[in-house]
């Protein structure tokens, strides 16, 4: 199969990038394609990255052995309920039924408090980024989801890849699978140019790849043969062939996986997605971005109890997962980061909130703490909505550069400026 050549191209490219960045450090070169070794981790961000934006930044070092777990909070997470400002009378006036008592909040930085149901995560150390959104916000789920998935606010964007897919392209060292979605099938956020990204509708289906029965082996061989191009293929055939090719390499990569049915994980949708994530990560087949999803955030009604329940679910599953990562010695290379298409209107409707503007993102991983970004002014709303103080591209740029060491310009066509202090200690 033709993957060999593109994989070695990629390694060469990464080599070159590392070479330029580190002036040929032998340790850095050794790390390429050697994702198994924590000792090779190139964790610290070069200090020159923190220079002002108008200073030309040297290409950062790619941390190809770090892992990102994206938790998509689908439906539009109410950032003001997840992370509430203390003592803001304006907020209490506009949504009297939806505010949490200051005394119940978990102090984040003196100005903001986390939702009480996030106690587990707060104990591990979480960072919040406030005011993340679009300069020209839209209030349609689909438009905003598309922008977040694509990683590009431009309305006429013709990008056919997703932000996390492009990140996988940069992190790809020829691994059989670099990005994986466990949220009920493929996500557009992981659509990549070169890297293999796979979405599983049912994580349990992978026994097909481990069985050594001759009949099943023949089937796997046939799938590989079906991936060969034919002269009569149209564009849709190309996509179908790629699916077959990806299935083959994916199947080879996870053939060794043994599902241990780890019972510590809660039997919630998110809990089981993260259980499977931990199994894939233990295998170390080169997966760098995992995408999971927690739905139900479109709280037009019943917000007070629905949102609290979602916070509980997020907290429970993610805390178990990160504790598990610590046990496996992988906590230092694992970052959990949320996305959500938008926040909610500040003013409540009857018992919930309508679609809103900018919102708050949560990160949990090595060294995360405090609240970052500029707090939006609740007295200067735009038609009732929180005005973004950072573009979601800036949030993405932070993850790209300060977690993975991938230059923002390589993955964000509209650019993005890392948020200072969030992941760069």
Partner 1 sequence: MTTPEIRKQIAHVFRRCGFGPTPGAVEAWEEHGPQALIEELLSRETIEYRTEAKLYDGFNLSDDDDDDYKLFELAVASIGNDMVHGSNPIHERMSWYWSTHLTSSNERADSAMMWRQYQLFRQHALGHFPTLMRQVTTDAAMLLYLDGAESRGTNPNENYAREFLELFTLGRNGGYTEDDVRAAARILSGWWVDWETAEVHYKAEQAYTRPVTFMGERRRWNLDEFIEFVCSRPSCAQHVTTRIYHHLVGPDLTDDRRDELAAVFVANGMEIKPLIAEMVRGDDFLAATHSRARQPVEWLIAARQALGLGGFFDPDEGWYLEVLGQMPFLPPNVAGWPLDHRWASASQIIARTSVAMDWEMPERLYDEIEPTVDAVLARCGIYDPSESTQAALKQIEADVSEYDGRLELLLLTAIVTPEFTLL
Binding site for partner 1 (CB under 8 A): 74, 139-143, 145, 181, 184-186, 188, 196, 198-202, 204-208, 214-215, 218-219, 221-223, 225-234, 236-237, 239-247, 250-251, 300-301, 349-350, 354-355, 383
Q: The tokens 């060491």 sit on which residue? A: 405
Least spacing, CB of residue 170 vs partner 1, in Å: 21
Q: The tokens 């053939």 sit on which residue? A: 255
CB 281 within 8 A of CB 287: yes
The nearer residue to partner 1, 244 or 255, going by C-beta atoms, is 244
Least spacing, CB of residue 348 vs partner 1, in Å: 9
The nearer residue to partner 1, 293 or 372, going by C-beta atoms, is 293
Distances (CA, A) of 193 to 14, 169, 335: 16, 7, 24
The nearer residue to partner 1, 259 or 349, going by C-beta atoms, is 349
Least spacing, CB of residue 153 vs partner 1, in Å: 15
The nearer residue to partner 1, 63 or 181, going by C-beta atoms, is 181
Residue 191: alpha-carbon gap to chain centroid: 13
Burial of 198 (0-12, 13-18, 19+ CB in 10 A): buried
State the Cα–Cα distance between residues 193 and 256, nearest whole angstrom.
27
Least spacing, CB of residue 248 vs partner 1, in Å: 8
Least spacing, CB of residue 390 vs partner 1, in Å: 23
The nearer residue to partner 1, 72 or 394, going by C-beta atoms, is 72
Residue 127: alpha-carbon gap to chain centroid: 15
The nearer residue to partner 1, 215 or 267, going by C-beta atoms, is 215
The nearer residue to partner 1, 120 or 137, going by C-beta atoms, is 137
Of the CA atoms within 13 Å of residue 394, those in its CB half-sphere come to: 23
Indicate the Cα dihedral angle 170, 198, 148, 398, nearest 10°: -40
Bin 310: left if φ > 0, else alpha if -120 < ψ < 50, else beta.
alpha
The nearer residue to partner 1, 209 or 392, going by C-beta atoms, is 209
State the Cα–Cα distance between residues 132 and 416, nearest whole angstrom.
12
State the Cα–Cα distance between residues 108 and 294, nearest whole angstrom.
23
Q: Is residue 85 classed as helix, strand or coil in its secondary structure? A: strand
Least spacing, CB of residue 123 vs partner 1, in Å: 32
Least spacing, CB of residue 198 vs partner 1, in Å: 5
Contacts 24+ apart (CB under 8 A), 150-159: 150/188, 151/189, 151/392, 151/393, 151/396, 151/411, 151/412, 152/393, 152/412, 152/413, 152/414, 153/391, 153/392, 153/393, 153/414, 154/413, 154/414, 157/413, 159/413
Least spacing, CB of residue 235 vs partner 1, in Å: 8
């Amino acid at each position: 199969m033709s993957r060999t050549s593109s994989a070695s191209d990629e390694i060469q490219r990464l080599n070159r990038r590392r070479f330029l960045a580190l002036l040929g450090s032998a340790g850095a070169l050794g790390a390429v394609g050697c994702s198994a070794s924590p000792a090779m981790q190139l964790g610290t961000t070069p200090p020159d990255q923190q220079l002002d934006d108008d200073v030309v930044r040297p290409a950062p070092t790619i941390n190809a052995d770090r892992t990102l777990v994206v938790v998509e909070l689908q439906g539009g997470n109410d950032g003001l309920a997840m992370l509430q400002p203390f003592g803001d009378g304006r907020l209490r006036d506009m949504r009297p039924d939806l505010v949490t008592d200051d005394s119940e909040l978990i102090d984040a930085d003196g100005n903001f408090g986390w939702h009480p149901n996030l106690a587990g995560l707060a104990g591990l150390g979480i960072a919040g980024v406030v005011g993340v959104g679009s300069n020209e916000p839209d209030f349609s789920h689909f438009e905003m989801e598309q922008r977040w998935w694509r990683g590009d606010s431009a309305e006429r964007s013709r990008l056919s890849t997703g932000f996390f897919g492009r990140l996988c392209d940069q992190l790809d060292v020829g691994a059989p699978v670099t990005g994986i979605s466990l949220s009920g099938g493929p996500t557009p956020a992981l659509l990549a140019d070169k890297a293999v990204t796979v979405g599983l509708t049912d994580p349990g289906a992978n026994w097909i790849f481990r069985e050594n029965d001759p009949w099943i082996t023949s089937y796997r061989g046939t799938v590989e043969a079906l991936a060969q191009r034919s002269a009569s293929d149209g564009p849709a055939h190309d996509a179908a062939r790629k699916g077959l090719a990806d299935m083959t390499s994916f199947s080879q990569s996870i053939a060794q996986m043994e599902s241990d049915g780890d019972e510590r994980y809660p039997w919630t949708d998110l809990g089981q997605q993260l259980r499977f994530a931990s199994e894939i990560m233990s295998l170390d087949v080169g997966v760098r971005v995992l995408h999971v999803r927690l739905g139900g955030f479109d709280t037009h009604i019943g917000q007070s109890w629905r949102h609290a329940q979602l916070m509980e679910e997020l907290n429970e599953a993610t805390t178990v997962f990160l504790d598990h990562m610590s046990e496996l010695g992988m906590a230092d290379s694992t970052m959990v980061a949320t996305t959500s298409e938008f926040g909610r209107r500040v003013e409540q409707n009857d018992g919930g909130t309508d679609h809103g503007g900018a919102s708050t993102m949560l990160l949990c991983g090595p060294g995360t703490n405090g609240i970052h970004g500029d707090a939006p002014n609740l007295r200067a709303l735009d038609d009732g909505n929180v005005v973004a103080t950072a573009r979601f591209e800036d949030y993405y740029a932070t993850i790209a550069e300060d977690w993975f060491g991938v230059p923002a310009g390589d993955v964000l066509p509209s650019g993005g400026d890392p948020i200072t202090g969030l992941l760069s200690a």
